[in-house]
Structure 1
Amino acid sequence: MHTSVLHTITGLNVGGAEIMLARFLGKLDRDRFPSTVLSLLSPGPLGAQVKSTNSRLMSLGMTERPRPRDVVRLARSISGAAPDLLHGWMYHGNVAASLGSVLGLNFAPVIWSIHHTVRDLADEKPMSRRMIRLSARLSSRTSAISYCSRVAADDHERLGFDPRRRVVIPNGIDCDQFSPSADAGTRLRRLFGLPPGRLIIGHVARFHPMKDQVSLVRAISRLLALGHDVQGVFIGDGHADGPVRLSARELGIDDRITTPGIRGDIADLMPGFDIYALCSAWGEAFSLAVGEAMASGVPAVVTEVGDCGWLVGDSGVVVPPGDSDALAAGLIRLASLEPADRRALGQQARRRVMENFSLPLYVGRHLELYEAALARRRRIQDR
């Protein structure tokens, strides 16, 4: 017996929810769970990865502002796919799953996935605020809401999301893809032209104000002033010609900040970091990058945003957000360790991810959610 699943998502650009969808599909039994992905916007770079899982990929080709005909096309797409279950991803994908199911006369169980925390609704874009308010009104009609962090669940329930639908399923890390490598540090230093003994503080994320990467530049400047031989490596879009580089120049540490842009070999580079730093001020729910660093045997310093503190546990350091001095103090704690002690802490971090936040656990928890939703529907039909 198979269960056809239709996944609705805003688009397939590189982001936490999109990555988790692609990885989730890659681990599913294709015979048992034949899957279709409906991208509301034109598919982005992860579209190819979705196709490689032998999942069907469709797109409505919507623009940022929905048009009436987009709603008609959504209903027809869902009606034509005739899924046994709908799984929405992110606000627009969630609402699309719920509305499209009704308008397409499908009425299959709908599960939502939320990968975002909301410190203050005023922080969100106007369209996001409208979608969050609409989602709150529709939330009781879902079978379940899968939050990737406990803080995300609390935030959304405070905004009116139905607490009876809460299920917390943390993001899953592929511990085979992300694993320690004894020579990764040597290769990383050679790649970026760094001296052998310099400590590398890594950060992987696109530039965004909520990620507060300028605070990390300031923290690294503080370490350098205190005599620590460190290099900050910021991998992601928007750093080479953005605020990170500008702040480094203003602080006189331009040569101590490396900004290689977008890289496709993160799993190879990550184990080469000595310390991973997450500096977000708000918006973080459950950081994939931190989990991947931990799985790679790299201890992390993180700000207390979303469930990042829960993720690292006692295998790293947790500091308040928006405080570059506190961030510097956390980095100093790990930088001051003997290399063997730092590696031992990294091994502890990897064990924590494998035991609590692995990709197989993520997949298994969602399949349990699927089975519960389908069983509930069968009970209702049998009445």
Structure 2
Amino acid sequence: MSINVLHLIGGGEIGGAEQNVLNLLKNLDRQSVNPFLGCLTKGSALAPCAQSFGIPSEIFPMQFPFDLSPLPTIIAFCRKHKIALIHAHGTRANLLGRTVARLTKIPCISTIHSLPEYDYPSSLKGRISLWVDNLTLHWSAGIIAVSVSLSQSAAIRLNRKGLTLPVNVIYNGSEIFSFTQPDQMLKAFREQWSIPDHCLVIGTIGRLHPVKGQFYLIEAMKLLTAEIPDLHLLIIGEGPLHNQLTEQLKLSGLSFTLTGYLPSAWQALPAMDLFVFPSLSEGMGLVLLEAAQAGIPIIASKVGGIPELLEDHKEALLVPPADPAAMALACSKVLKDRAFSAEMTARARQKASLFSIEKMVQDTITFYEKIIS
């Protein structure tokens, strides 16, 4: 007999956390779990996407970050659909999900996809978010962390509050994408975005948000062009820094393409000669597994869960965060040493195959059963 599980998430955009939730919902064994999705943002981008895969989805719009007005509607929804477990993703979802748990006795677990204090453009808002999240932590039935790094952070928070909760590390699973025709994919993407054939393309994919570090990538590319002039910077993603990044790119003198959000951004990977992930903080970095599948050499910040995915100088080059000079030096090494680059990408592709959606789903169902029992 399957259990009914309500997933709560902001869902205003489709970033790493939303993609992870979508991968989970699409692949859950319906004999074990019957999933529902609740999004907390009016005009949610995630809800219609989930509905297209046959996942029942509702929007419980919050008017401001700590708005409790959706509570009666969510409680009614849980009663109507006999929800046995709430699975919250993110600070706002934690606030509502744990409060519903307190009022209804339906257990609520949370997945930590990133550090709450880094989820907002303003550090003050990040600290307030963490404070609010801590207020309801004692109403949680358990926690999933997408990396050991995040589980350690959660353990520190729990210890400070004197709480003992089950904390499981369940890595995000990556979809298996088809890169059997990389040359055609490269040609099609570069033609679509008018990227010159002779350029070396250094690309990144991620939200345009301070924590993703794109400003430092731009500075690194300015340093690198002195050594390798035919560079083209490709930035894929959307977010609050769109206008600021556009202005910085125009002032940089770099050849660049800023695409905005692309629903199937993985298709752009073969158009890149190098993938750079300059995050200042990162829960896991699902897109790194996609780049590894594509056989693109990777430079990434040595932060959060990234070193758990890719070993430095073995499957990627990892550099200190917010260090354009180190980033430029690493890019130069990979672009110049083709033999080293080929060995590194082969090992990274093999490593990426270990992070399957099937394992993520099974580990999640096991955790659900543990909490329910």
TM-score, structure 1 length as denominator?
0.86
> For residues 271-329 of structure 1, what are the alpha-carbon distances to aligned partners after superposition, in whole Å with 9 as ceiling and x for unaligned?
321211011223x2111222221122212101112111222222110000111001101
Q: Please report how far the alpha carbon of residue 267 of structure 1 lies from its aligned counterpart in structure 2 after TM superposition.
A: 2.3
Query: Where in structure 2 are the equivalents of 1:77-96 lying within 5 Å?
Result: 77-96=77-96
Match of 1:291 among 272, 289, 292: 289
Aligned to 2:366: 368
Q: Quickly say closer, same or farther: Cα 1:131–1:122, change in 2 above 3 A.
A: closer
Aligned to 1:381: none
Match of 2:108 among 107, 110, 133: 110
Amino acid at match of 2:90: M
CA contact (8 A) 1:78 1:101 kept: no
Q: Please report how far the alpha carbon of residue 81 of structure 1 lies from its aligned counterpart in structure 2 after TM superposition.
A: 2.5
CA contact (8 A) 1:40 1:62 kept: yes
Q: Quickly say closer, same or farther: Cα 1:178–1:126, change in 2 above 3 A.
A: farther
Query: Where in structure 2 are the equivalents of 1:224-303 lying within 5 Å?
Result: 224-227=225-228, 229-237=230-238, 242-253=243-254, 256-282=255-281, 284-303=282-301
How many residue pairs match? The answer is 368
Q: Quickly say closer, same or farther: Cα 1:13–1:227, change in 2 above 3 A.
A: closer
Residue range with higher mean Cα deviation, 59-68 or 285-294 = 59-68
CA contact (8 A) 1:171 1:362 kept: yes
Amino acid at match of 2:336: S
Q: Please report how far the alpha carbon of residue 85 of structure 1 lies from its aligned counterpart in structure 2 after TM superposition.
A: 1.8
Aligned to 1:215: 216
> For residues 341-363 of structure 1, what are the alpha-carbon distances to aligned partners after superposition, in whole Å with 9 as ceiling and x for unaligned?
534432321211111x2222211
CA contact (8 A) 1:295 1:350 kept: yes
Residue range with higher mean Cα deviation, 33-42 or 175-184 = 175-184
Q: Quickly say closer, same or farther: Cα 1:62–1:25, change in 2 above 3 A.
A: same
Are 1:143 and 2:141 counterparts?
yes
Q: Please report how far the alpha carbon of residue 52 of structure 1 lies from its aligned counterpart in structure 2 after TM superposition.
A: 2.4
CA contact (8 A) 2:170 2:360 kept: yes
Match of 2:155 among 154, 157, 162: 157
> For residues 47-86 of structure 1, what are the alpha-carbon distances to aligned partners after superposition, in whole Å with 9 as ceiling and x for unaligned?
1221123221122222115556433333323233321222
Amino acid at match of 1:271: P
Residue range with higher mean Cα deviation, 317-326 or 159-168 = 159-168
Aligned to 1:359: 357
**Sequence identity (%):** 22
CA contact (8 A) 1:302 1:309 kept: no
Q: Quickly say closer, same or farther: Cα 1:180–1:25, change in 2 above 3 A.
A: farther
Amino acid at match of 1:203: T
CA contact (8 A) 1:117 1:306 kept: no
Are 1:324 and 2:324 counterparts?
yes
Q: Please report how far the alpha carbon of residue 225 of structure 1 lies from its aligned counterpart in structure 2 after TM superposition.
A: 0.2
CA distance in structure 1 between the aligned counterparts of 2:239 and 2:78, rounded to whole angstroms = 37
Residue range with higher mean Cα deviation, 161-170 or 266-275 = 161-170
CA distance in structure 2 between the aligned counterparts of 1:153 and 1:96, rounded to whole angstroms = 22
Q: Quickly say closer, same or farther: Cα 1:308–1:66, change in 2 above 3 A.
A: closer
CA distance in structure 2 between the aligned counterparts of 1:187 and 1:121, rounded to whole angstroms = 34
Amino acid at match of 2:22: A
SS of corresponding position for 2:353:
helix
Aligned to 2:341: 342
> For residues 175-220 of structure 1, what are the alpha-carbon distances to aligned partners after superposition, in whole Å with 9 as ceiling and x for unaligned?
2367773433233332333333422111112321222212111111
Aligned to 1:72: 72
Q: Quickly say closer, same or farther: Cα 1:119–1:143, change in 2 above 3 A.
A: closer
CA distance in structure 1 between the aligned counterparts of 2:237 and 2:342, rounded to whole angstroms = 25
CA contact (8 A) 1:75 1:100 kept: yes
CA contact (8 A) 1:98 1:142 kept: yes
Q: Quickly say closer, same or farther: Cα 1:206–1:135, change in 2 above 3 A.
A: closer
Aligned to 2:21: 21
CA distance in structure 2 between the aligned counterparts of 1:185 and 1:168, rounded to whole angstroms = 36
Structure 1 residue ranges without an equivalent (≥5): 376-383
Q: Please report how far the alpha carbon of residue 36 of structure 1 lies from its aligned counterpart in structure 2 after TM superposition.
A: 1.3
Aligned to 1:310: 308
CA distance in structure 2 between the aligned counterparts of 1:285 and 1:173, rounded to whole angstroms = 15
Structure 2 residue ranges without an equivalent (≥5): none
CA distance in structure 2 between the aligned counterparts of 1:123 and 1:257, rounded to whole angstroms = 24
CA distance in structure 2 between the aligned counterparts of 1:200 and 1:163, rounded to whole angstroms = 48
> For residues 134-185 of structure 1, what are the alpha-carbon distances to aligned partners after superposition, in whole Å with 9 as ceiling and x for unaligned?
4334434433200112222223333346464221112211123677734332
Q: Quickly say closer, same or farther: Cα 1:120–1:61, change in 2 above 3 A.
A: closer
Amino acid at match of 1:86: I
CA contact (8 A) 2:15 2:206 kept: no
Q: Quickly say closer, same or farther: Cα 1:37–1:328, change in 2 above 3 A.
A: same
CA distance in structure 1 between the aligned counterparts of 2:116 and 2:59, rounded to whole angstroms = 28
Amino acid at match of 1:41: T
CA contact (8 A) 1:34 1:55 kept: no
TM superposition outliers: structure 1 runs of 4+ over 6 Å? 119-123
Q: Please report how far the alpha carbon of residue 18 of structure 1 lies from its aligned counterpart in structure 2 after TM superposition.
A: 1.4
CA distance in structure 1 between the aligned counterparts of 2:337 and 2:164, rounded to whole angstroms = 43
> For residues 73-129 of structure 1, what are the alpha-carbon distances to aligned partners after superposition, in whole Å with 9 as ceiling and x for unaligned?
3332323332122211112212322211232x2x23322111112578998665654
> For residues 221-252 of structure 1, what are the alpha-carbon distances to aligned partners after superposition, in whole Å with 9 as ceiling and x for unaligned?
21110135321101122599633333333332
Q: Quickly say closer, same or farther: Cα 1:80–1:130, change in 2 above 3 A.
A: farther
